[in-house]
Structures are given as structure tokens and as C-alpha cells.
Amino acid sequence: MTTLLSSHPLKTLIKSTALLCGLSLFLPSGAQAEGKLNIYCSVQNTTCEKVAQAFSKKYNVKTQFVRNSTGTVLGKIKTEKDNPQGDIWYGGTLEPHLQAADLGLLEKYRSPNQKDILPIFKDLTEKRGEYTSVIYLMELSMGINSKKLASLNIEPPKCFADLLDPRFKNQIQYADPRVSGTGYSFLIALVSLWGEEKAFDFLAKLNKNIAQYTKSGLATSNLASGEVAVDISFFHTYVREKEKGAPVEGVYPCEGTAYTLGATSIIKGARNLDNAKLFTDWALTPEAQEVHWREADSYQLPANIHAQYYPGMHVPANPKIIDIDFIRFGSNEQSKLLIERWVNGILSNQPQ
């Protein structure tokens, strides 16, 4: 774990934004394409819609999308390996994209616009950027419903360890790592923080307080309505719920803050390959990455060094960062082992 603010991706982003505010890099304005593009999308549905519309309008490409969680899209691409129906996989956490690359499910393409990624991710991009590109980052946190906690007479949790309090029984949810990149991000954050044995011991104890394992890390409506008091997902999702009027706050856990990266990749055997490459190039521009917060109330932090981020995002003054080995946890073998252990040791023992 590191406590150096200078190593924090948010710090890099803020400094870059302050220096380069107002700059935008676009693909040539006269560029036009034709034909179709089919997107498998793993961000919020409205964001999928706005991104697809913006690309379609800019390049005159008939663009369609299907929205599913990250793990579900990975399973779909596996099933369709011999007859791919999608061209682009847009959004969702990086690790399943890397797993897809390991399985030979992605088309090799390194976009020239990778040159504009935040410097902190340059090494990762050089090593794994032949098949996938980073487009945004998200910080893992706890989401709390302050009204619900007050009704239960429970102090808001400050640490992951606080969630083991028996008073939280049936008041916590997080996403199933088999189908959700968010759930897998939580799992590997704990392993990175404590090691595998201690992480799974914690998850076994936490299991006693779990109300449900959701199918998507974006399922924050239960938290907003007060059906549960605590959710574990990414900080930007709680900013959105709060701005919609819910009594929701995001809390960075005292043990440290993990972050994950969102990615975009071309599916192997894409029927509209040229348009898929064009979309990849566009997705790496500030124009595309700012669509999330400007048009869809989705506040992931853009990975392009020239892009502006949503000004309502809170930046912790002195964050403790949990270092994540994305290449290790992005391997298909490592993912399979961890998820199998979670299913056999945690999910199978969930209280009825």
C-alpha cells in the first residue's frame, strides 16, 4: 500500500486537467464512415445510449448496443466465439477484458490515441494495450444510506472491518464476482490488501450480514431506497444517487482505496472491423470520455490526460491507495481460481 498522493491517479488527473483545461483532441472533423457497428456495453444504460448516439452522429454509422454486466458480456463472447455477434466491448472493468485477451477472444489493435492516456497507466498500456485500451478509472468505496443507518441506530462504517458488526445483518449488498466486474474488483482489492487467506476469512464473516449479491455493481437503487444500508461499489455511483436526492454518501474505507480501470476492446472476428477500430480511436478521445458526465450523469474519471472530469467528484486529501496488479488478476487462470474459491467457500455458505 502506498500513501503518496503523487502516485494517486486522481492527483495526476487533477494536475493534468488544471494545466490543460479547455483542451480537446478530436479525430479529424471531416472523417466519415458508413455501415454498422454492434456494441456490447458494460456501463450504465443511459451512458451506453449516449455514447452510441454520439459515435453514430459523428461518423454516420448505424450503431446499436446491448447492455450487460462485465461478466455476462465475457460469457456471451465466449459462447459466440465461432459466430461473433458483437464488434466492440465497451466499458466494464479491465480484468475481464484481459481474460478475454488471454482466451483469444479479442482482435489485436493498438490505437494511436493510447499516447494520450494518463502517465500512471503507460506501463500497463505498453504491456497489454495490443488488445484492450483503458478509457476511465473508478475508485472502490462503501456507499451508505444515512437515513437508513439512523433508523437502525448504527454509526456509519468507516472501515471494511466495521461491516462485520452483527447489527449489519441483512443490510449489506455487493455484486456477484461471477457476473460483475465490480464484485471481482472488491474481491481482488481484499486479496491485494490482506493476502488470500485473510481476505477469504473476512468474506466468510461478512457473508453473515449480506442481504444479497447483486447481478451488477450498478444496482444502487436498493441503497437509495433504503432496502439496504450499505453497498460496496464505485464512488461515482454514490455521487449520482446523492445528486438524484437520495440520502446516500460514498465512504473511502480506512484500510485503503482500491481503484479499477474501465476498458474497450474489439471482439475477435468482428464483422464491422473498420468501424470497430474507428470507434476505439474515438473512445480514447476527450470528446468521447466526457460524454459520460456531460450527457449521462455518469461520473467515471476519464483516462485521457486532456479530458475534463466531473467537477462534483470529491478527491480525498491524503488517500491510502491499495496497489492492484491488474496483469496478475486479469489472467484467466487467476480469475477462475479466485471465483471458484468464492463460490465454494462463500456463496455456498450464505445464510438462507
Q: For 50-95, how does the pLDDT look when each residue is reduced to its tens digit (9 = 90+)?
A: 999 999 999 999 999 999 999 999 999 999 999 999 999 999 999 9
Q: How high is the pLDDT of residue 30?
A: 40
**Dihedral angle computed from the Cα positions of residues 94, 97, 102 and 105, in that order, rounded to the nearest 10 degrees:** -170
Flag whether 320 is in a domain: no
Flag whether 321 is in a domain: no
Work out how many domains the chain is built from and give that number: 2
Answer yes or no: do 221 and 293 share one domain.
Answer: no
Calpha distance 190→329 (Å, rounded): 12
Flag whether 156 is in a domain: yes
Answer yes or no: do 198 and 88 share one domain.
Answer: no
Answer yes or no: do 133 and 160 share one domain.
Answer: no
Tell me the pLDDT of the chain averaged across its residues: 89
Q: Range of 150's domain?
A: 139-258+330-349
Q: Which residues of 10-28 are buried (b: 16+ CB within 10 A; e: fewer)?
A: bbbbeebbeeeeeeebebe
Answer yes or no: do 39 and 106 share one domain.
Answer: yes
Flag whether 49 is in a domain: yes
Answer yes or no: do 88 and 156 share one domain.
Answer: no
Q: How high is the pLDDT of residue 313?
A: 79
Answer yes or no: do 57 and 185 share one domain.
Answer: no
Number of residues that this document lists for the chain = 352
Flag whether 324 is in a domain: no
Answer yes or no: do 194 and 86 share one domain.
Answer: no
Calpha distance 225→228 (Å, rounded): 8
Answer yes or no: do 231 and 203 share one domain.
Answer: yes
Identify the band that residue 26 occupies on the pLDDT scale cut at 50, 70 and 90.
very low
Identify the band that residue 5 occupies on the pLDDT scale cut at 50, 70 and 90.
very low
CA 67 to each of CA 39, 77, 86, 194, 208: distance values in angstroms, whole numbers, following the listed order:
8, 13, 12, 34, 31
Identify the band that residue 28 occupies on the pLDDT scale cut at 50, 70 and 90.
very low
Q: For 215-256, how does the pLDDT look when each residue is reduced to its tens digit (9 = 90+)?
A: 886 779 999 999 999 999 999 999 999 999 999 999 999 999
Calpha distance 164→209 (Å, rounded): 7
Three-state SS across the chain? CECCHHHCHHHHHHHHHHHHCCCCCCCCCCCCCCCEEEEEECCCHHHHHHHHHHHHHHHCCEEEEEECCHHHHHHHHHHCCCCCCCCEEEEEEHHHHHHHHHCCCECCCCCHHHHHECHHHHHHHHHHCCCEEEEEEEEEEEEEEHHHHHHHCCCCCCCHHHHHCHHHCCCEEEECCCCCHHHHHHHHHHHHHHCHHHHHHHHHHHHHHEEEEECCCCCCHHHHHCCCCEEEEEHHHHHHHHHCCCCEEEECCCCCECEEEEEEEEECCCCCHHHHHHHHHHHCCHHHHHHHHHHCCCCCEECECCCCCCCCCCCCCCCCECCCCHHHHCCHHHHHHHHHHHHHHCHHHCCC
Arithmetic mean of pLDDT, 37-50: 96
Identify the band that residue 162 occupies on the pLDDT scale cut at 50, 70 and 90.
very high
Flag whether 27 is in a domain: yes
What CATH number is given to the structural domain containing 82?
Answer: 3.40.190.10
Answer yes or no: do 213 and 106 share one domain.
Answer: no
Flag whether 4 is in a domain: no
Q: How high is the pLDDT of residue 9?
A: 45
Flag whether 95 is in a domain: yes
